Structure 1
Amino acid sequence: MKKISIKIVYKTLLVSTLLTTFSCKKVFDVKPQDQVDITNNYRNVYDANAAVIGIYGQFQTLADRYIILNELRADLMSPTANADQYLRQLNEHAETTDNPWADPRPFYKIILNCNDAMANFDKMVADGRMTSSDYQQRYSDVGAIRSWLYLQLGIQFGSVPYVTDPLTSIDDLKDASKFPKISFDQLLTNLIAFMGDGKRYLDVYSTSVSTTGATNTSLNTTVDGYATNLFFINKRCLLGDLYLWHGDYKLASAQYHYVCELGSLSTNGSWLYDQYLVQNGDGNNHVDIYYGNSTDERTLVDNNNGGWRAIFGGGVGTLTGQEWIWSIPFDKNFLPQDPFVNLFSNTGGSYLLTTSQLALDNWNSQTQQNGLPYDARKLISVRTINGQPVIMKQLYYNVDATSFLPTSVLQKQGRWLLYRGATNMLHFAEAACNDATLGTSGVKLAYALTNVGVTRVYDNTWPAASSLPTDRTNIEQTFLDAPYNLDGRNGETPYYRGLWYRQVGSRTRAYLQPLPAALASDKLGMETAIIDEDGLELAFEGQRWGDLMRVALRRKDPAFLADKVYNKLLRDGNGNAAAVRTKLMNTANWYMPFKL
């Protein structure tokens, strides 16, 4: 009898509660060998919901692996003196096949569970145990998680087996005659064929009730204070990233543009122009770098309810939900525990990883609008605690808001922060910059998205400062075809507010001086500026290795990646810096050894 191996130890509070909410039966009760007999499972939509949530519970166990592989192998994160040989191998791109972080099996374990669930969903809709609309949502969601996992496998390992059939064991994949490895390019083609075929449900979930009107069957709900709308992968962001990796820039931009305007669908009217649009605010109500007194750096707004820190430290119902598109909670009462405390904290954790000196130098090379010679995002991303630099982004949920010490060394509660508005906007800028059909218009748009906003760049006086007409009908908008048709009009007579009128880009939100205006017509320079801004804004969030690799591959310039890793190692005093650079000049060495 076939069994599904989603184990109960992988449940979070949200997972276990949702299992009870969605079905009166404990679908994943543990039997011998931690396996579940599926004979009586997959009976109805509630069991399907439980299967989806169970997969997400298992997915959470990859959180530390995702951050380690995508940050430590790049240029912004470094091992501490406490790190073991395996973390040091990743830092120096010297992974051995016994390195537990370089093991692809944890990814495939979840992929096989996805395949099993999707096969059962097929059977459910075929014999009427689930409606076609419920099927599309759940099948698409699990398929998107599988696609995300495969994208990560491609980024880290290059050529990998691509299997969509339900198998009983990962060991089955060792048969190369049945499951040969395919190239990263072919993998991207396959993933796009699945996610972009027009059959997938790509939108966020509604809260509609079932057709019987008896019970809410939606995956979008709130349980114990956790809003599940942020729990599920945003499939449009994923599809946009797949297109971006594949070089389909206009298709990628269409997905990013759609997500940018999700705020227009929000029931929160105050977020109509804010949500996912990387807007500027007054510091107390919005997620920007802001000073109570712009001439006094001591007045930086730095708390969990306002300023840039609110992106990472805000609790349920706060401004954090304005920025994050995909975020999964770790609860103190259920496994798995938040792994980031152990990785980053020097009080209550093992303090294995910290910022690289290069990352600090990058922030220190910026100038704020008030003349301060550093990027204030540094102060919030990394704090000195007990004399040591500590990466804080993933720790704010678990520490006192003032002392930054753990509220309890035994209770580890936090969030896996996966994808946010700034990520989507910067990827949109990268896609627009590289869309050859736009020419320099795409570079100018990328400048606006990253730097000072649509309204300012398209006001017809930029970059010179001059007065504007009260009638903004024919300015402050791109006048480009979709998906680049962005409206930032901010006029008084007639009164009009375009959806993008408060969008400013992550640099202005960070209170930095604008990039040189010449970059608005310099494709290569603007692309480099976008990747630099990625590092300043998104450091330690799991984006960095992919961002560097994608641009280096596009340019056919391995030095773009190799030099950044070299400079990290050099400034950290690592004697192997030059040898690592030489190794990374061969793109084949970007990928870890693949062994099942």
Structure 2
Amino acid sequence: MKTSNNLNSGLRGLFTALLCVSMFSCSDFFNPEQDLIQEKDEHYNSLDKVRRATVGAYAGLQPLVESLIVMGDLRADLLVTTQNYDADLLEIDKHEISANNPYASPDPFYDVILDCNDILANLEKSAVDPKMTELKIEAYEAEIRTIRAWVYLQLAQTFKEVPMVKESLDGHFPGYEPRVYDFSTMLNWLVKELEWANEKSRLDWTALDENPVWKKVYINRKALLGELYLLTGNFNASVDVLKDCILNDGNDADEDVLKCAPVSGTSAWKRSWFKIKDGVSGFEHLSVIPFAKDQRQTNRLMNLFSNDKIHRYVLKPSRVAVAKWEAQELKDGSGILEGDLYRGQLASYAVMDKDTIVYKYQVGKSVNQNDAVHTIYRAADLHLLLAEALNQSGQSEDALKVINEKTVGVKESVGIRGRVGLKPVRMVDLKDQNPALASDEKALVELALLEERAMEFAFEGRRWNTLVRFADRAGAPLILAERVASKYKQNDPQLYARLKEKLSSQDNWKLVMPELKKD
């Protein structure tokens, strides 16, 4: 299938412009000092230059973060606009997204993809460097193909059809016409890419810098492959890969890494995924996109969420989101609804000067080295993706254990709820709450997973894709439509009804790819 004339024209304009951009334009935090004045043919003629180009590709992920979070949670049920909203955010909140909405732009995603393609097309030039062995070339190729695959997955989850560019476009103009992939075709290609990459050696980033954040600056291949297997319905393979990742891919010597061990104190959960000292926690994070304030890097999330005088405060938690934490019961069995004391108030959200704010990214004035990281994969994600795969493969009881108390075969795991001191979700209670589904334990555990993911990952940009995945898998659009519309049920009944009707059609879940930038 070919692109439309307008789209293809836009692609040519975008690609032509990007060919003029140096691969080595990333920030000092990602890219050590170097001589930027060099011929294109010299960009890849040594191990050091290939490393810089790879780090530059990772730096290209930074501009994606704001879009991922806004599109991921504002389209869903966890975020709403404040009285300070702008037109672009209101479009997303009301699901009336225009073609020129910057948060829905594919342009920065293709920036990364084209960088990756350029590296892949030129890797062999580095073979002239004795330090660049064939094994290292393969390792770099696997790393770059993994970055590209993750970026394509984000596009495929947003747009109905995605232009697929696998080549370096140097010399391909005029008239280059990329193929267009639908979601199923894209997933099949991505699985093959990650199966190949998982057979190759992994790069060792730890030698590059003493900053511990470097240990997490990569997209974990097993985690991505496990997620892809889940999306394609290969649930047994997903279970195997995700469990392998949990058991073997932690970067720290501590045996509890990535295993959802207990946290102590009501402020410990936030510290477990954002650690003030170095901006990243070895006990929770697997893959991150970091930001360094001392290098003038910012993800602008504080600008979106903070209600102090210097920030915009344009987005806030929905009442639906806050109610989920408030309704939780502690494990002590007292029967008193005390709320989710670890993940709720003063962790994911807070009330300050009578405003409800997203608190997860409030890093404090004392932090001057790092801004809040964006998590690509973290321990809880691995465990809850594993629970999904277990449930779909007929192991609903084991899936419920992952939520509550224990990941089978994982030493020290106490479950997602167990580590934050919450009462377990019992099958008998799920049946009482959903009598129409009492005979379908798989469907009941799915509902429990939806709720747990909302509380665990709020404001991290995962919610919309989660709702789409669950609703599509169940063949029940109302799973998504009712939840998204519910944030307006109390204050705007007309908008509630309109959104529920619109989102009951799966045709309205993804966007049409807009014409890409021409200059």
Q: Which TM bucket (shorter chain)?
A: 0.7 to 0.9
In the aligned structure 2, how far is the partner of 1:443 from the partner of 1:261? 21
The letter for the 2-side match of 1:278 is C
Deviation (angstroms), 1:537 = 0.8
Q: Is the alpha carbon distance of 1:9 and 1:385 closer, same or farther for their aligned partners in structure 2, counting shifts above 3 Å?
A: farther
1:157, 1:591 within 8 Å by CA — same for their partners in 2?
Answer: yes
Q: Is the alpha carbon distance of 1:193 and 1:221 closer, same or farther for their aligned partners in structure 2, counting shifts above 3 Å?
A: same
Report the counterpart of residue 180 of structure 2 in structure 1.
Answer: 181
In the aligned structure 2, how far is the partner of 1:422 from the partner of 1:171? 45
2:45, 2:129 within 8 Å by CA — same for their partners in 1?
Answer: no
Q: How many residues align?
A: 484
Deviation (angstroms), 1:333 = 2.5
2:279, 2:370 within 8 Å by CA — same for their partners in 1?
Answer: no
Pair 1:591-2:510 in alignment: yes
Report the counterpart of residue 435 of structure 2 in structure 1.
Answer: none
Report the counterpart of residue 15 of structure 1 in structure 2.
Answer: 30
After superposition, residues 226-245 of structure 1 pair within 5 angstroms as 226-245=212-231
Deviation (angstroms), 1:202 = 6.6
Alpha-carbon displacement from aligned partner over 1:129-160 (angstroms, at most 9, x marks no partner): 73122112211111111111111111111211
Pair 1:78-2:80 in alignment: yes
2:61, 2:289 within 8 Å by CA — same for their partners in 1?
Answer: no
1:3, 1:38 within 8 Å by CA — same for their partners in 2?
Answer: no
Deviation (angstroms), 1:311 = 2.0
In the aligned structure 1, how far is the partner of 2:73 from the partner of 2:150? 17
1:394, 1:416 within 8 Å by CA — same for their partners in 2?
Answer: no
Report the counterpart of residue 38 of structure 1 in structure 2.
Answer: 40
Deviation (angstroms), 1:564 = 0.6
Pair 1:428-2:386 in alignment: yes
Report the counterpart of residue 402 of structure 2 in structure 1.
Answer: 449
Pair 1:582-2:492 in alignment: no
Deviation (angstroms), 1:7 = 6.7
1:541 counterpart SS class: coil
Deviation (angstroms), 1:593 = 2.6
2:156, 2:186 within 8 Å by CA — same for their partners in 1?
Answer: yes
Unaligned 5+ runs, structure 1: 206-217, 284-289, 291-300, 401-406, 455-485, 488-499
After superposition, residues 395-544 of structure 1 pair within 5 angstroms as 395-396=362-363, 398-399=364-365, 413-435=371-393, 439=394, 442-454=395-407, 486-487=408-409, 500-518=410-428, 522-544=441-463
Deviation (angstroms), 1:96 = 0.8
1:341, 1:412 within 8 Å by CA — same for their partners in 2?
Answer: no
- Which stretch has the larger CA shift, 517-526 or 580-589? 517-526
Deviation (angstroms), 1:128 = 6.9
Q: Is the alpha carbon distance of 1:346 and 1:335 closer, same or farther for their aligned partners in structure 2, counting shifts above 3 Å?
A: same
2:225, 2:238 within 8 Å by CA — same for their partners in 1?
Answer: yes
Deviation (angstroms), 1:328 = 2.6
The letter for the 2-side match of 1:247 is G
Alpha-carbon displacement from aligned partner over 1:80-121 (angstroms, at most 9, x marks no partner): 111211111111111011211121121112111111111111
1:566, 1:580 within 8 Å by CA — same for their partners in 2?
Answer: yes
Identity %, equivalent residues: 26
After superposition, residues 240-259 of structure 1 pair within 5 angstroms as 240-259=226-245
In the aligned structure 2, how far is the partner of 1:279 from the partner of 1:412? 26
- Determine which structure has more spread, i.e. the larger CA radius of gyration: 1
In the aligned structure 2, how far is the partner of 1:94 from the partner of 1:169? 39
The letter for the 2-side match of 1:505 is G
After superposition, residues 544-563 of structure 1 pair within 5 angstroms as 544-563=463-482
1:583, 1:589 within 8 Å by CA — same for their partners in 2?
Answer: yes
Pair 1:375-2:340 in alignment: yes
Using the size of structure 1 for normalisation, the TM-score is 0.76
**2:324 corresponds to which of 351, 354, 362:** 362
In the aligned structure 1, how far is the partner of 2:274 from the partner of 2:194? 33
Give runs of ≥4 in structure 1 deviating > 6 Å. Answer: 126-129, 169-172
Report the counterpart of residue 154 of structure 1 in structure 2.
Answer: 156
Deviation (angstroms), 1:10 = 4.0
**2:271 corresponds to which of 264, 285, 310:** 310
Deviation (angstroms), 1:501 = 3.8
Q: Is the alpha carbon distance of 1:126 and 1:161 closer, same or farther for their aligned partners in structure 2, counting shifts above 3 Å?
A: farther
2:213, 2:290 within 8 Å by CA — same for their partners in 1?
Answer: no
Pair 1:564-2:483 in alignment: yes
Larger relative contact order (Cα-Cα within 8 Å, sequence gap ≥ 6): 2
The letter for the 2-side match of 1:331 is A
Report the counterpart of residue 292 of structure 2 in structure 1.
Answer: 331
In the aligned structure 1, how far is the partner of 2:321 from the partner of 2:491? 11
Deviation (angstroms), 1:540 = 0.9
The letter for the 1-side match of 2:21 is S
The letter for the 2-side match of 1:275 is V
Alpha-carbon displacement from aligned partner over 1:20-41 (angstroms, at most 9, x marks no partner): 4xxxx43xx2x6xxxx742222
Deviation (angstroms), 1:238 = 0.9
In the aligned structure 1, how far is the partner of 2:142 from the partner of 2:171? 23
In the aligned structure 2, how far is the partner of 1:524 from the partner of 1:420? 25
In the aligned structure 2, how far is the partner of 1:8 from the partner of 1:124? 16
- Which stretch has the larger CA shift, 131-140 or 582-591? 131-140
1:6, 1:54 within 8 Å by CA — same for their partners in 2?
Answer: no
Deviation (angstroms), 1:445 = 1.0
1:332, 1:413 within 8 Å by CA — same for their partners in 2?
Answer: yes
Q: Is the alpha carbon distance of 1:73 and 1:314 closer, same or farther for their aligned partners in structure 2, counting shifts above 3 Å?
A: same
1:576 counterpart SS class: helix
Alpha-carbon displacement from aligned partner over 1:161-216 (angstroms, at most 9, x marks no partner): 112011149997x96xx32322101100011111113664375x4xxxxxxxxxxx
2:481, 2:503 within 8 Å by CA — same for their partners in 1?
Answer: yes
Q: Is the alpha carbon distance of 1:267 and 1:56 closer, same or farther for their aligned partners in structure 2, counting shifts above 3 Å?
A: closer
In the aligned structure 2, how far is the partner of 1:354 from the partner of 1:202? 43
Alpha-carbon displacement from aligned partner over 1:1-29 (angstroms, at most 9, x marks no partner): 99562476641x4213xx34xxxx43xx2
In the aligned structure 2, how far is the partner of 1:169 from the partner of 1:571? 57
In the aligned structure 2, how far is the partner of 1:364 from the partner of 1:151? 34
